Homo-oligomer: A and B are copies of this chain.
Amino acid sequence: MYLVGIDLGGTKIAASLAGEDGGLLATRQCPTPPGSDFAPVLGACVRLVEALFREAGLPQAQLGAVGLSCPGPLDLRAGRIIQVATAGWQDVPVRQLFQQALGVPVYLENDANAAAYAEAVAGAGRGCASVVYFTVSTGVGGGIVLDGKVLDGAHGSAAELGHITVDPQGPACPCGSRGCVQLYSSGTSIARRARQALAAGARSCLEQAPQVDARAVENGVRAGDPLCREIWQDAMYRLGTAAGILNQVLDPDLFVFGGGVSNAWDLMEAPILEGARAYSYAKNAHLIRVDKASLGSLAGTTGAVLLARDLL
C-alpha cells in the first residue's frame, strides 16, 4: 500500500507519494488552476497523483489513502471547504469529491494543523508528545499536537494561534477580536508597521529599499538599523508573549516556528524566548523550548501523508 498527501494552496498544489510508514518517495507540484470553479482544481490534483505513480513505476491500485491539507475555514466533520477567500472556492465537499475521484478514503485537515502534525511527528518535534507549531508568513497561524494527535476542537476551530490576543486594548482585528498577535508579528504586519513609521517621518535604511516588506526589515536588522530592530524585536517579543500564554495553558514539550519569516530564525529565537519567559510562571520559564521548523515546504504534504496513514 502507498499513501498520497496533497497540499492544496491558493497558488500552487503539491502532492507527495509515500510508503506505508509515511516516508516520502517523491513530490510533484503544479500551479493551482485559477477561478472559483473547483472541478479544474480536482482534475489537477488527480493528474498529480497519476503522475507520481507513473513516474515511480507503481500501479495506482496500490493507493491506500489520501491526506488533504487545505486552507480554511473548513467544516472538518462534514469534510467541506466553507470558504477559501484567496482562491474564490466556496462550500466545496472536498472529501467526497476526492474520495470519488481517487477511490480511497480521504483525511481532510486544515493546512496549519497538517503542518503542525508533520513537524510534531517527523520534523523538529520528533519524539515529543506535545508540540505547539506557529507558522509565521503572510499571516500567523498554527496547530497544536497533544499526545501525538492534532487538536481540532469542538467545532474545528482550535489552534487559531494568530488570533490570540496579546493586547486586549490593542487595535481591532478583522477577525472580530482585538490586539491579535498576527497584527504585530506576521510578515504583512512587520512590513505595515515599517511603512507607517516611515510615513510618520522615521529615518531608516528602509528609505533606500526597493520594497518595504518583512525581508527588507530583516535585512535592516542585520545591517544594524535601529527602526528595523525596534519593529522586529516587538514582533518577535509579542509572538513570544503568545507562546508564554500557551505555555501556561498547555505546558507543551516544544514550540516550533515555521513559515517564510522563520527563515530568519537566528534573529527570532532570543526575543521569542524572552517574551515567552516573561509571560510564564517564573519557576517554569527555564523549561520552555523553542525550535525552528525542519521540514520547510514539505511540511504540508508530509502532514497530509501522516494523516492518511492514520486512516489505514
Contact = CB atoms under 8 A, between A and B. Distances in A.
| Residue among A159, A169, A249, A250 with max Cβ neighbours from chain B (10 Å) | A249
User: On chain A, which size bracket covers the interface?
Assistant: 35 or more
A284 B73 CA distance: 11
Q: What number of copies of this chain does the assembly contain?
A: 2
B166 A284 contact: no
Contacts of A149: 147
A249 B161 contact: yes
Contacts of A279: 165, 168, 177-178
Interface string A218-251: 0000000000000000000000010011101111
Interface in A169-190: 169, 175-178
Closest 3 CB pairs of A and B: A153-B251, A176-B282, A158-B251
21 contacts: A129-B154, A130-B153, A144-B249, A147-B149, A153-B251, A153-B252, A155-B287, A157-B248, A158-B249, A160-B249, A160-B281, A161-B249, A165-B244, A166-B168, A167-B168, A168-B279, A175-B281, A175-B282, A176-B281, A177-B244, A177-B248
Interface of A: 73, 128-130, 144, 146-147, 149, 151-161, 163-169, 175-178, 241, 244-246, 248-253, 278-285, 287
